[in-house]
């Protein structure tokens, strides 16, 4: 019998944020070795045309995509080779490029070295991922005063074959950071049109969810609900580092800790520690702390709990169910975004 975790994983399998494939550009066409031969020109000069360029593999940003699912089963991406040149100085046709549309926030890496090749962050942005081989020059290019009948031309350059990794890092203004069951999905559902799955068991959220949050005067910002972090996530425990990379692209980090947590300060320190172990630069981002599920607290208890909270970042008690302080939270977030 499949476990609940397995069933949810299958249901959420449409979100793919990692793919690896072999990218092979086209070879350049050979230059032509040809001499002009016509009825009244028995010994014309060289007129071999150039070979066409091999096709590129190109990445193009698309705001209509939010997952790499369409590339999941593309294990080999192959562009056309260029055509050979012809006599009469006719150049061969270029090989057809292969254009891969990817969601904004996609990072391309060399699979062997881990080197970042490019990042796609804008609609319509195009980057040549694997360059096609240059076409060879025809013999027409090699004639000279001392060699008027060159009997050689260039071959085309070979294409490039390489393994590429594409990783998606969600682009959002605010990233929700918290342990499983901290109320992240409930908050996102309360203040946006997003409808993430909500349940009272760990790892309800197995894929990141994005929501557009409306603000005053028709303004808005994008919030990302990142699957819950646990202690040891940076070393691969729980859902591991699979989703930590999505936080790298968020301008603001909103830490969510439930009011019924045994130790608010300790939970916050663990979350910060996991981010620091994964990427110390994440601590340079602006942070806000929200204490969720605060509808169970009275004013006196909130005042007592405030003493436990870190003083270096703004904090607020909220309740997604009763809508308590949600407008104040949006004000805090908007102010932070403007100064990030």
Q: Where are the domains of the chain?
A: 15-168, 174-339
Helix (H, G, I), strand (E, B) or coil at 141: helix
- Contacting residues for 339 by C-beta, under 8 A, at least 6 apart: 286
CB count in 10 Å sphere of residue 6: 10
For every residue of 7-34, which 3-state class applies, written as one string? HHHHHCCCCCCEEEEEEECCCCCCCCCC
CATH topology of domain 15-168: Spo0b-associated Gtp-binding Protein; Chain: A, (2.70.210)
Encoded tokens for 13: 């399998």
User: Distance between CA atoms of 28 and 152, rounded to whole angstroms?
Assistant: 17
Would you state the pLDDT for residue 228? 61
pLDDT of 285: 92
| Proportion of the chain in helix, strand, coil states, percent, rounded to 5 | 25, 25, 50
pLDDT per position in the chain (340 positions), as tens?
333 333 233 334 567 889 999 999 999 999 999 998 877 777 778 999 999 999 999 999 998 988 899 999 999 999 999 999 999 999 999 999 999 999 999 999 999 999 999 999 999 999 999 999 999 999 999 998 889 889 999 999 999 999 999 999 887 899 998 888 788 888 988 888 655 444 444 444 456 777 889 898 888 898 888 776 756 544 555 454 566 777 888 889 999 999 999 899 999 999 999 888 888 998 899 999 999 999 888 888 998 898 889 888 999 999 998 999 999 999 999 999 998 7
Answer whether 107's CB lies under 8 Å from 173's CB: no
- In the CATH scheme, what is the homologous superfamily, with its name and number, of domain 174-339? P-loop containing nucleotide triphosphate hydrolases (3.40.50.300)
- In this prediction, residue 14 carries a pLDDT of 66
- Residue among 181, 184, 202, 204 at smallest CA distance from 194: 184
């Amino acid at each position: 019998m499949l476990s609940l975790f397995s069933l949810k994983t299958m249901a959420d399998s449409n979100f793919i944020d990692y793919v690896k494939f072999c990218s092979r550009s086209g070879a350049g066409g050979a230059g032509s070795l040809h001499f002009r031969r016509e009825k009244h020109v028995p010994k014309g000069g060289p007129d071999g045309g150039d070979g066409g360029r091999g096709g590129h593999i190109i990445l193009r940003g698309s705001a209509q995509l939010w997952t790499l699912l369409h590339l999941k089963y593309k294990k080999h991406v192959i562009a056309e080779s260029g055509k050979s040149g012809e006599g009469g100085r006719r150049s061969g046709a270029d090989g057809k490029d292969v254009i891969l549309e990817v969601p904004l926030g996609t990072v391309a890496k060399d699979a062997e070295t881990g080197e970042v090749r490019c990042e796609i962050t804008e609609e319509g942005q195009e980057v040549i991922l694997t360059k096609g081989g240059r076409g060879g020059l025809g013999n027409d290019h090699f004639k000279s005063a001392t060699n008027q009948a060159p009997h050689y031309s260039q071959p085309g350059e070979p294409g490039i074959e390489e393994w590429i990794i594409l990783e998606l890092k969600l682009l959002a203004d605010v990233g929700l950071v918290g342990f499983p069951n901290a109320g992240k999905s409930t908050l996102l559902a309360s203040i946006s049109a997003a409808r993430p799955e909500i349940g009272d068991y760990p790892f309800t959220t197995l894929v990141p969810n994005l929501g557009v949050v409306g603000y005053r005067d028709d303004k808005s910002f994008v919030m990302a609900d990142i699957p819950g972090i646990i202690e040891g996530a940076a070393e691969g425990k729980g859902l591991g580092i699979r989703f930590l990379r999505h936080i790298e692209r968020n301008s603001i980090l909103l830490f969510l800790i439930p009011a019924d947590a045994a130790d608010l300060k300790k939970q916050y320190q663990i979350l910060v520690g996991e981010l620091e172990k994964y990427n110390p630069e994440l601590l340079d981002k602006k942070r806000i702390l929200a204490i969720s599920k605060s509808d169970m607290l009275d004013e006196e208890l909130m005042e007592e709990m405030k003493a436990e909270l870190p003083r270096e970042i703004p904090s607020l008690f909220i309740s997604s169910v009763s809508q308590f302080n949600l407008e104040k939270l949006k004000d805090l977030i908007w102010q932070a975004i403007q100064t990030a």
